[in-house]
Amino acid sequence: MYEIFEHTADLGLRIRTVELHELFEEAALALFSVIVTNADVIRPIQQRSFTIAGEQLDDLLRDWLAELLYTFHAGRLVFARFEVSIDKGVLTARAHGEPIDRARHEIDVEVKAITYHGLKVEREGGQWLAEVIVDI
């Protein structure tokens, strides 16, 4: 489950899940739900693979989302489904989506960057919780 919250000139993403890998998948879904108003129309017809190493979970989450954001801008791709695994500080993932189609995809918010400000990933009451601020 994810929710969007206001943060001055930025936007916050708060994600809660039971499993750690789901936290990273939901965070990616949250990011693309901010970028594409009608993210439900994104078809998973192309796949991109990612491998990211990080010592801290919060850094790993930030780097994961930053890599997806870079792929959105540079590769002109939007994603709708994610498969993530994390083992010993290494995230491996597959993102499924398609090239941006302005006739079908309603691009809403221009996310410029994933910030370190307020970044956290922690275990809370049997669940994982993450908060990420995105620069818009």
Q: Does residue 7 register a pLDDT over 70?
A: no
The confidence score (pLDDT) of residue 6 equals 67
Residue spans per domain, the chain: 2-135
The mean per-residue pLDDT over the stretch 3-25 comes to: 88
pLDDT at residue 127 above 90? yes
Give me the mean pLDDT over the 14-20 stretch.
97
Q: What is the pTM of this model?
A: 0.92
112-130: b (≥16 Cβ within 10 Å) or e: eebbeeebebeeeeeebeb
Going by DSSP bridges, is the β-strand pair 46-53/90-99 parallel, antiparallel, or unpaired? antiparallel
Secondary structure of 18-57 in HEC code, one letter for each residue: CCHHHHHHHHHHHHHHHHECCHHHCCCCEEEEEEEECCCH
Name the token pair of 107.
Answer: 């691009």
Mean pLDDT of 60-69: 98
- Could you report the per-residue pLDDT of 73-115, keeping only the tens digit for each? 999 999 999 999 999 999 999 999 999 999 999 998 889 999 9
Distance CA(62)–CA(51), nearest Å, equals 13
∠124-134-64 over CA atoms, to 5°? 70
- Copy the structure tokens of residue 88: 């010993």
pLDDT for residue 62 is more than 70? yes
Q: Is the pLDDT of residue 19 over 90?
A: yes
pLDDT value of residue 33: 95
What SS3 state is found at 125?
coil
Topology, domain 2-135: Archease, Possible Chaperone; Chain: A; domain 1 (3.55.10)
Average pLDDT of the residues in 2-16: 81
What is the pLDDT of the chain when averaged over all its residues? 94
CA–CA separation, 89 and 57 (whole Å): 8
> How high is the pLDDT of residue 4?
77
Predicted pLDDT at 9: 65
